[in-house]
Structure 1
Amino acid sequence: MHPKDIQIEQFTYELPEDRIAQHPLDRRDASKLLVFRNGEITDEVFSAIPDSLPEDSLLVFNETKVIRARLISPRGEGMRPIEIFCLDPLNKDIESSMSATGEVSYICLVGNAKKWKDQVLTWNDPSGRPLLHAEKLGRDGANFHIRFFWEGPLHFAAILEELGHIPLPPYMHRSEEPEDVNRYQTVYATRDGSVAAPTAGLHFTNNVLQRIEEKGIELGRVILHVGAGTFKPVSADRMEDHDMHSEAFEVSTNLLRSILQSPNVTAVGTTSTRTLESLYWLGLKALNGEELDFHQLFVDQWEPYTHTDFPSSQDALSALLKNATEAGITTLRGRTQIIIAPGYTFRVISQLITNFHQPGSTLILLVAAALGDRWKDVYQHALTNDYRFLSYGDSSLLYLS
């Protein structure tokens, strides 16, 4: 079956509300770890993950950092506040937008939008002086185009840090709490840009990372700024009618070299997976003689399913590295819309570390692509054995079928 013909109702399961983790555990690495290897399921503790990873391999993390993307307007008398959720920059890349001074425009969701007429919204600093203003520029469907402007030398990232709120997932059904400041962020996060955490990485501690390196496993880094689309439910009956979200990524050519030299690549999370697998399809274009625009690389959601000839990942990634090197490029930047679903053959990764995902989501499709029908066994085992689900839930290490 072509992935376009998949009916999402075949990839759902019953998830009781009380199995959705509302808070993190006291210790990051105390979570459960389900290991699926050679068709067998075993139960471990995440702190023991160095013993379950293959030696002489490459472990790739997404080091994006969650921004305080929710801005809540001051309450007017008898009025519910207007909430602005910053999704993506309107005319700039994420890095430039985060470092912008004076003004920046964003694509946003707006809660209680009917109450926002034509007035400019203003947020003050603790002393009562205006710190940030917002005005509507227009609308595109459910999304609003909003211009933020302010005086002074502060970067937009600093403005959000001062005024914004942590964008906890909607299924947590609660407001942010002090624990979320650190716990809804990986210990290795470095680059502002995500509106949702790459949650597979939340279990790692510095101690676990040190033990992994002591085992001889190389650590690699990518950037994929996670968008709110990661929570977007699949509402179409057939996947052909689902518009997959795209997200900005960055990969260094040094990481490409490490991938080419590694017999095993383990992706930490679905975001790292989508980034790494996208490299193959860019490499295939390079191998086929297509000219790549290294300033705006792009992988379409159905790109993997339009080909009939599939060279080795070694050949494809080597071609990508060659083209980048000849162009004087040391960092690949672009966006990926890739959808990984049953029928997909993984080209780069051999193992996947990931949490347990929502029923009927594109993330479940990715897990099903990795495990085949055994994804049902894995999820049933997790439900039966009291695993915690979703962002603050437990973890799994999946060896691909």
Structure 2
Amino acid sequence: MNVSDFNYKLPEELIAQRPAEKRDASRLLVIHRDTGALEHKTFHDILSYFQPGDCLVLNDSKVIPARLFGIKKDTGARVEFLLSRRLQGDTWETLVRPGRRVHPGDRILFGEHGELEAIVTERGEEGTRIVEFHYAGNFMDHLEAIGKIPLPPYIARETTPEDKVRYQTVYCQTEGSVAAPTAGLHFTPELLEQARAKGIRIANLTLHVGLGTFRPVKCDQVEAHVMHFEDYAVSREAADLVNETKAAGGRIISVGTTACRTMESATDENGVLQPGEGSTGIFIYPGYRFKMVDSMITNFHLPKSTLLMLVSALYDRENMLRAYEVAVKERYRFFSYGDATLIL
């Protein structure tokens, strides 16, 4: 299967640079797999497609202010860090710019008074650095004070205070992502409360989104691509809720690709979602047989991306690309701050 088979033409002006004025005012493209029909709706209409006893599965990971600007302790040269993944304790895998200036043994200071210090311990994969942070107090407090929200590279502007709110879901809890699980950005507290009132179950799990979500597929054949690993956690409560829904004939509706990848990783061959923590590099593309997910809410994804391959696996490549062509023609807004799709 060729990566080029998942390409499509997207006018640059359709890449959303800012969120919609209201979260649930985004447009919604409803994709009916059984008939091939497409409907043009608004996100606050979405609950009309769900039934009592269905289960929405949310990724409650919180985006951390992972973009840091500092100076080398010995020379004063400016350095930018983008935290990629916590390896253990205060040790992180980090993207560094300019990489040629940063070597093992270097010390980088962050904050007005050097409140946060990073020691580069080794070179990582694909140009990353492994660093160990030293500080007084709480690490996340320091990040909140001096870090910036890491917007995706296709958002061509600087971070604003608004992004600290709007590039988070309203239900985020567990800190650790460097990119938002963007399908959830459209939900408001009121919409979630309406879902509960309708008898729709809501389960929370966690997958910390890493920088791999932005990395392009560089090989020509889909099957040759290797995913980066991301950490996840499924509570006993969430697993029970999902499994009970499935057993009762309700639909499992994944809010985003990250919740989908978590469930498909943690579901055993008997179709039972297992609680626990782990790390997943699951790569879902056409031909994959889903073990748990029935439907999905998701944004529009980049051409030739692993996420477009994933949603094509839930439907099929030809019809998904046809839906994207319609979305372009109808001037939907694309990517992280863009509009949503509901794949039924």
Q: Displacement, 1:174?
A: 1.5
Residue 267 of structure 1 aligns with which residue? 254
**Aligned partner letter, 2:108:** L
The one-letter amino acid paired with 1:45 is T
Shift of 1:80: 7.1
**Residues 1:26 and 2:12 are matched in the alignment:** no
Partner of residue 183, structure 2: 200
Of 70, 77, 81, 2:78 maps to: 81
CA offsets 1:198-224 (integer angstroms, 9 cap, x no match): 000000001111111111101110100
Give the one of 286, 296, 315 matched to 1:352. Answer: 296
Secondary structure, aligned partner of 1:259: helix
CA gap of 1:75–1:393, structure 2 versus 1, over 3 A, is: farther
Question: What is the CA–CA distance in structure 2 between the aligned matches of 1:41 and 1:22, rounded to whole Å?
Answer: 25
Aligned to 2:207: 224
Q: Which structure 2 residues correspond to residues 270-309 of structure 1 after superposition, within 5 A?
A: 270-280=257-267, 283-284=268-269
Q: State the shift of 1:349 in Å.
A: 1.2
User: 8 Å contact 1:80–1:112 — kept in the other structure?
Assistant: no
Give SS of 2:184's match.
helix
Show CA shifts across 1:36-88 (max 9, x none).
12321001100111112233200000000000111111599x98731111111
- Equivalence for 2:66: 69
> Which residue in the other structure is 2:278 paired with?
334
Q: CA deviation at 1:119?
A: 4.4
With over 3 angstroms needed to count, the CA separation of the structure-2 counterparts of 1:74 and 1:136, relative to structure 1, is closer
* Contact 2:72-2:106 at 8 Å conserved across structures: no
Q: What are the equivalent positions in structure 2 for 1:2-401 lying under 5 Å apart? A: 6-37=1-32, 38=34, 39-74=36-71, 81-90=78-87, 92=88, 97=89, 104-116=90-102, 119-125=106-112, 129-141=113-125, 142-150=127-135, 152=136, 154-262=137-245, 263-280=250-267, 283-284=268-269, 311=270, 313=271, 317=272, 331-372=275-316, 373-399=318-344
The CA deviation at 1:259 is: 1.9
For 1:277 and 1:340, the matched residues in 2 are separated by 9
Cα offset, 1:123, TM superposition: 2.3
In structure 2, runs of 5+ residues without a counterpart are none
- What's the CA shift for 1:116? 3.5
Larger radius of gyration: 1
Aligned partners of 2:201, 2:37: CA distance in 1, in Å?
A: 26
Separation in structure 1 between the aligned mates of residue 187 and residue 288 of structure 2, nearest angstrom: 28
Length, aligned pairs only = 334
Distance across 2 between alignment mates of 1:119 and 1:136: 5
Query: SS state of the match for residue 189, structure 1?
Result: coil
Conserved? CA contact 2:57–2:259, under 8 Å? yes
SS in structure 1 at match of 2:119:
strand
- Report the TM-score when normalising by structure 2: 0.93
Contact persistence 1:251–1:333 (CA under 8 A): yes
Per-residue CA deviations over 1:322-353 (Å, capped at 9, x if unaligned) read xxxxxxxxx50001111110001112111100
Give the 3-state SS of the residue equivalent to 1:82 in structure 2. Answer: strand
Q: TM-score, normalised by structure 1?
A: 0.80
Query: Residues 96-130 of structure 1: CA distance to partner in whole angstroms, max 9, x if unpaired?
Result: x4xxxxxx2211110112233654221234xxx33
Q: Distance in 1 between matches of 2:190 and 2:304?
A: 35
> CA-to-partner distance for each residue in 1:115-150, whole Å, 9 max, x for gaps?
33654221234xxx3311112111024111112112
The SS at the match of 1:244 is: coil
CA distance in structure 2 between the aligned counterparts of 1:166 and 1:257, rounded to whole angstroms: 34
Identity %: 39
Matches of 1:278 and 1:268, distance apart in 2: 16
Give, in whole Å, the separation in 1 of the partners of 2:115 and 2:158. Answer: 23
Confirm or deny: 8 A CA contact 1:387 1:394 kept in the other structure. yes
Q: Which residue of 2 aligns with 1:303?
A: none
Offset of 1:182 from its aligned partner? 0.2
